[in-house]
Structure 1
Amino acid sequence: MTVIIILALVALFIGLRLYSVLGERTGHEQQPILKPADPDARVERPAAPVSPVAQPAADPADLAYLPTAGPGVRALLAADPTFDVARFLEGAKAAYQMILESFWSGDLSKLRSHVDDHVYDAFASSVEQRNKEGLILENRLVHIDQAVISATTLEHTIAFVTVRFEADIAAVTRNKDGEVVAGAMTDAVQTRDLWTFRRDLATKDPNWLLVETDEEE
């Protein structure tokens, strides 16, 4: 009996010692690793919503023709597969510069084969009136900012293409004594012109004639 009591006291003493050692926290214990109940379970984070990337707006200067002229251009291409929009616009810009410079200088011989009769007559009448008044134009085409097709129509085999020009022009008008009566070469003014060119697709002549000039309102 005495032996049993002694063993019980020893066991109690050992248990108290273990508790005093194992039951205390030192602050450096490793955090428990939490395992999911299902070993195959995976926690997936919801994908962040993808914001649509805004596409840059098309620069009008990069357009070959206005959207409203699209059907007419496509009809022209169907009627004449050799028509090249870029090449046509390059030729239109060259004609625009040449015709303006010829008109300003009063030498209409250069533009005679590039314009229709009634356009030539209008230019010639204006030059004649200017000469009567003793006025001299010293205009200068500074830069063509934009040239786009704004309209295209077909009348049987006759094609009409209207080009919208935006250009910077420095204009000076002098009298017969050389005095400046209007404008200044240091001030370039932006102009917006609508020029219409015509060509008969049934002929082999690739040239386009200027048949109408107007200013955009």
Structure 2
Amino acid sequence: MHARTATRLAGGLYLGIIILGLTAELALRGPIASAADQAAALAGAVPLWRAALAADLLMASFDIALALLLYRLFRRFGPDLALAALVLRLVQMAVIAAHLPLLLSAIGAADPAPLIARHGAGYDLGLWFFGLNALVMALLLRRTGTAWLAWLIAAAGAVYLFGSLTRFAAPELNAAMQPAYLVPVVAELSFAIWLLFGAKALRSAA
């Protein structure tokens, strides 16, 4: 595969992951999970809940393909770092995907709240590894000469790590820092757009 094609495919996959993730977590699942009566809300919106699960599965599949493409594109800038990023991204998605059956079990449950909460904790556990992945990717991006994007991705990694840590160690602080997750959205969207329309340093890397 030509490097230009690989970078654009990686950008398209990354954009797809962002859209699928936000759609599943915020648009489809969010209103149900945040309802005062989750059992009633879920019972009245099972198709939306299942659609969110389908989006999660597509996102996981895209993430595997993206992890392999990013390894191919970045390995000449540091083979060990690129391999570490590959492993961390795959671990992140494996952890998140492993918790999806909890959401399936929530359908029809008398009290789905514990299952939804366990999925949320599993999601944040997966994001711990994604935070580490982001820090490694920041180092690789810096080696390509793209310092502005490296700083953005490093900031996203810091938010993910702090968010995961506080989820388990300081829930009150975690609730207060939720607006900070806008930083990873901006950073990852910038990364996707850079792969789609820029990434000149990578075009000879694949």
Fold similarity call, TM over 0.5:
no
TM-score, normalised on structure 2? Answer: 0.25
Structure ranking higher on relative contact order (CA contacts 8 Å, 6+ apart) = 2
Structure whose residues are more often strand by fraction: 1
Return the structure number with greater helix share: 2
